[in-house]
């Protein structure tokens, strides 16, 4: 029986309708939006740090958790985003809050240019390749006077042009906007037809290709989106501290932090990075009297999770109570007729 066309037309796919997730997110966004009215400058700074890490973690998770490409060179995009912001606002006097997006664009451009070389590497080799990219940029900055060489740059002069009451809260608004934007972008991206293709590439490249998914294009688009978001977050992160140097900015510790956070929270979910980021800040703030031991603790927890609970904290909760705030998993449905 020549039934191929019929089979094609009688199957479709659907994703569970979300209710709880977007509502919680909207409530959280409203709370965060009014937060500067009563929060202290110190708390705002901490919130900025949390949101920057949240964006970076979502971007890493988009790349790794949904497509399977692990990058340990995210510090390249963080650094380029941050330097992009510092250099443009110092040189041209552009408003630093607007320059956050230029930082993100710079990171995206570097992503576009480096993809042809990096995509020659697969799996773990891709990971180390991205790290080499970060090193290349660190060396260029170390050797360029205009970028402050090894001693770094400060935003002190630029920030003086901004009224005192907006200095921290300005960064906060940009960070909040980008956090909400990132979550919705990742969420809708993954619920779309494109998202389905992305996950097919992660699960099985060969079969994805055989049903007509253009793997290279998918990889490329996700990589660039991730680079852009990470660049913006890097810019926010250093706008918050107002000082950069090539050693800290391009440090591989950034990637380590992102990976630990996502693994602990739950890789491949939108909720996971949230939980992981909160866990990190909880650990850091409570163990702050013991030097760097909190990083050692974080690393040990991440390795233990990797070995024994590969779905992370959120995976555990979600399985136990069968909740899914941001459903992205598609199921095949059969149509009648």
| Positions in the binding site for another protein (CB under 8 A) | 68, 70, 72, 116-118, 120-125, 127-129, 131-132, 135-136, 139-140, 142-143, 252-253, 255-256, 259-260, 263, 291-293, 295-296, 299-300, 302-303, 306-307, 310
- Which of 27/117 has CB closer to another protein? 117
Q: How far is the CB of 308 from another protein (least distance, A)?
A: 9
- Which of 134/236 has CB closer to another protein? 134
Q: How far is the CB of 192 from another protein (least distance, A)?
A: 25
CA 71/CA 254 separation, integer angstroms: 11
CA 108/CA 224 separation, integer angstroms: 5
- Which of 13/293 has CB closer to another protein? 293
| Residue 234, C-beta contacts closer than 8 angstroms, at least 6 positions apart | 52, 56, 77, 78, 79, 80, 81, 82, 103, 107, 249
- Strand-pairing partners, residue 15, are 330
Q: Which two tokens stand for residue 89?
A: 């606002």
Q: How far is the CB of 142 from another protein (least distance, A)?
A: 6
- Which of 174/261 has CB closer to another protein? 261
Q: Which two tokens stand for residue 296?
A: 């050692």
- Which of 145/322 has CB closer to another protein? 145
Q: How far is the CB of 120 from another protein (least distance, A)?
A: 4
- Which of 304/333 has CB closer to another protein? 304
For 75-107, b/e burial (b = at least 16 CB within 10 A) is bbbbbbbbbbbbbbbbeeeeebbebbbbbbbbb
Rounded to 5 degrees, φ, ψ at 11 are -110, 145
Q: Which two tokens stand for residue 74?
A: 């995210």
CA 261/CA 324 separation, integer angstroms: 19
Q: How far is the CB of 201 from another protein (least distance, A)?
A: 15
- Which of 254/314 has CB closer to another protein? 254
Q: How far is the CB of 84 from another protein (least distance, A)?
A: 20
CA 258/CA 237 separation, integer angstroms: 14
CA 22/CA 302 separation, integer angstroms: 28
Q: How far is the CB of 62 from another protein (least distance, A)?
A: 16
């Amino acid at each position: 029986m020549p039934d191929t066309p019929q089979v094609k037309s009688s199957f479709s796919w659907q994703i569970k309708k979300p209710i709880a997730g977007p509502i919680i997110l909207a409530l959280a966004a409203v709370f965060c939006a009014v937060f500067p009215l009563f929060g202290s400058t110190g708390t705002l700074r901490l919130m900025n740090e949390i949101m920057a890490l949240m964006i970076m973690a979502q971007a890493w998770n988009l790349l790794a958790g949904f497509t399977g490409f692990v990058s340990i060179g995210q510090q390249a995009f963080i650094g380029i985003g941050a330097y992009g912001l510092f250099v443009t606002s110092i040189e041209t006097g552009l408003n630093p809050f607007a320059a956050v997006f230029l930082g993100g664009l710079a990171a995206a451009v570097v992503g576009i240019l480096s993809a042809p070389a990096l995509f020659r590497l697969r799996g773990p080799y891709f990971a180390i390749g991205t790290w080499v990219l970060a090193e290349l940029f660190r060396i260029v900055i170390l050797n360029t006077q205009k970028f402050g060489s090894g001693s770094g740059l400060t935003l002190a002069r630029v920030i003086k042009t901004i009224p005192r009451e907006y200095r921290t809260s300005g960064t906060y608004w940009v960070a909040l906007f980008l956090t909400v934007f990132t979550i919705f972008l990742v969420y809708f991206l993954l619920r779309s037809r494109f998202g389905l293709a992305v996950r097919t590439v992660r699960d099985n490249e060969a079969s994805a290709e055989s049903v007509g998914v253009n793997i290279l294009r998918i990889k490329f688009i996700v990589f660039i989106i991730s680079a852009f978001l990470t660049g913006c977050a890097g810019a926010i992160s250093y706008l918050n501290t107002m000082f950069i140097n090539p050693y800290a900015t391009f440090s591989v510790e950034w990637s380590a932090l992102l990976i630990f956070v996502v693994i602990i929270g739950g890789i491949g979910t939108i909720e996971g990075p949230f939980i992981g980021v909160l866990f990190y800040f909880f650990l850091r703030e409570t163990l702050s009297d013991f030097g760097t031991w909190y990083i050692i603790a974080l690393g040990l927890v991440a390795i233990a999770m990797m070995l024994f609970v590969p779905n992370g904290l959120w995976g555990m909760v979600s399985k136990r109570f069968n909740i899914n705030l941001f459903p992205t998993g598609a199921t095949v449905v059969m149509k009648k007729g």
